């Protein structure tokens, strides 16, 4: 049981009051009656969601959802780091393979391009992008992959290799004052 769950907030909490939850090891600050208890505003809040690919993706040529997505409750005026790392294989040497981090309307937030040097060796996509100005509320980002140029296909490895494709969303701190 957390302290803020056990105490009657209406009679004890005042804006700025700080507690430490022994069951979750979190420090929280009382922000207001509507916002209630939040982590300290001026600090990073850490990983808010992640996704891993447990099996290889479909073999594709055109840009297609990889199966990696993260949905979280965004907080206005926070800064988020979106990171993706994953291995892909192509069927034709010299093809250019692509990966994107997108929103649900397919607007590209981050992008990676790799050349297929050998059809027997994987290439590695790495994307890291910082996103600011996200509206408060439920937010989804996803990873898509496919061929950019060439005639072959692309497959994203998953679950069978050391570098399992992983997509993280991390709160890295404030972008502006709280709303």
DSSP string, 99-146: EEEE-TT--EEEEEEEE---TTS-EEEEEEEEE--PPSEEEEEEEEEE
User: pLDDT digit string (tens) for 124-138?
Assistant: 999 999 999 999 999
Sequence-distant contacts of 102-109: CB under 8 A, at least 24 apart: 102/141, 102/142, 102/143, 102/144, 103/139, 103/140, 103/141, 104/140, 104/142, 106/144, 109/82, 109/141
Mean pLDDT for 9-34 is 82
Per-residue pLDDT at 114: 95
Lowest-pLDDT choice from 4-13, 16-25, 127-136, 169-178: 4-13
What is the percent of the chain with per-residue pLDDT over 90, rounded to a whole number? Answer: 59
Which residues does 31 contact at the CB level (< 8 Å), separation at least 6?
15, 37, 38, 41, 178
Mean pLDDT for 137-164 is 87
Per-residue pLDDT at 1: 45
Task: Return the SS3 of 60.
Answer: strand
User: pLDDT digit string (tens) for 29-77?
Assistant: 887 777 678 889 899 999 999 999 888 888 899 999 999 999 999 999 9
Asked if 172 and 44 count as a contact pair (C-beta separation under 8 A), the reply is yes
């Amino acid at each position: 049981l957390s302290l803020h769950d056990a105490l009657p907030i209406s009679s004890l909490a005042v804006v700025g009051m700080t507690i430490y939850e022994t069951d979750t090891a979190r420090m929280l600050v009382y922000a207001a009656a509507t916002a209630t208890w939040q982590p300290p505003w001026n600090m990073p809040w850490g990983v808010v969601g992640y996704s891993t690919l447990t099996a290889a993706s479909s073999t594709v040529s055109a840009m297609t959802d990889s199966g990696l997505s993260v949905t979280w409750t965004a907080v206005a005026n926070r800064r988020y780091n979106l990171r993706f790392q994953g291995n892909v294989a192509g069927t034709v040497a010299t093809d250019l393979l692509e990966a994107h981090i997108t929103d649900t309307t397919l607007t590209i937030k981050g992008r990676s391009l790799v050349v297929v040097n050998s059809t027997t060796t994987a290439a590695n996509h790495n994307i890291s992008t910082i996103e600011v100005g996200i509206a408060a509320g439920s937010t989804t980002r996803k990873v898509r992959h496919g061929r950019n140029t060439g005639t072959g296909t692309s497959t994203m490895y998953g679950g069978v290799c050391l570098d399992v494709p992983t997509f993280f969303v991390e709160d890295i701190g404030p972008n502006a004052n709280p709303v």
